[in-house]
Chain A
Amino acid sequence: MIATIWTVFRKESQDGLRDRRTLFTILITAIAMGPVFLLLMANFVSGLEERGTRREVMVDGIGNAPELANFLQRNDFTIKPAPADYLDEIKSGRLQEAVIVIAPDFSTRFAHGDVIDVELVFDESRNDAQVSIRRAENLLHAFAKEIGITRLIARGVAPDVARVVNVERINTATPKQQGAFLLFLIPMFGLISAMIGSMSAAIDTTAGERERGSLEPLLMNPVGVGALVIGKWSAVALQSCAVLALTMFSFALAAHVVPSEKLSLLFQFGAPELSRFFAMMLPFACMIAALQMLVATYGRSYKEAQTYAGYIALVVNFVPLVTVFSAFRDAPWQLLIPALAQQMVLSRVLRGDSVSAYAYLVPGLVAVALAILFLVGLTRLLQRERIIFGR
Chain B
Amino acid sequence: MIEVAHLHKSFMAASGRKRASVTAVEDVSLTADDGEITGLLGPNGAGKTTTLRMIATLVAPDRGIASVDGLHSVQNAMEVRRRLGVLSDARGLYVRLTARENIRYYGRLRGMSDAAIKDSTERLAQLIEMENLLDRRTEGFSQGERMKVAIARALVHDPQNLVLDEPSNGLDIMSTRALRDLIRRLKEQGKCILMSSHIMQEISALSDRIVVMAGGRTVAAGTAPELIEIAKARNLEDAFVALTAHASQDASPPGTRP
Contacts and interface: CB of A to CB of B under 8 A. Distances in A.
A217 B91 CA distance: 7
B81 to A, nearest CB: 4
Instruction: Identify whether the interface residues of A are mostly helix, strand, loop, or mixed.
Output: helix
A11 B103 CA distance: 11
Interface stretch (B36-44, B93-101, B210-218, B223-231): B93-101
Given A3-B111, A221-B106, A214 B93 contact: yes
B86 interface: yes
A178 interface: no
B58 interface: yes
Interface residues of B, number: 35
A390 B89 contact: no
A213 B91 contact: yes
Contact of B94 (A212, A220, A222, A391): A212
Contact of A222 (B11, B82, B91): B82
Contacts of A388: 58
A195 B12 CA distance: 36
A389 B90 CA distance: 9
A385 B78 CA distance: 18
A385 B12 CA distance: 11
Contact of A217 (B90, B111, B257, B258): B90
Nearest to B104: A11
Contacts of B153: 217
A386 B258 contact: yes
A221 B109 contact: yes
Contacts of B108: 3, 7, 11
B81 A385 contact: no
B88 A217 contact: yes
A390 B105 contact: no
A353 interface: no
A223 interface: yes
A41 to B, nearest CB: 38
Nearest to B85: A220
A14 interface: yes
Contacts of B137: 18
Contacts of B20: none
B109 A391 contact: no
Contacts of B95: 212
A317 interface: no
Contacts of B5: none
Interface string A176-217: 000000000000000000000000000000000100111111
A389 B11 CA distance: 12
B58 A219 contact: yes
A214 B94 contact: yes
A220 B84 contact: yes
Nearest to A19: B96
Interface string A307-318: 000000000000
A11 B105 contact: yes
Nearest to A389: B258
B162 interface: no
A390 B82 CA distance: 25
B97 A18 contact: yes
B96 A221 contact: no
B90 A391 contact: yes
Given A209-B92, A222-B82, A386-B258, 19 more contacts: A11-B94, A11-B108, A15-B94, A18-B97, A19-B96, A212-B94, A212-B95, A215-B92, A216-B88, A217-B91, A217-B106, A219-B58, A220-B88, A222-B79, A222-B110, A385-B59, A389-B258, A390-B258, A391-B90
6 contacts: A4-B109, A15-B96, A18-B96, A212-B94, A217-B92, A388-B58
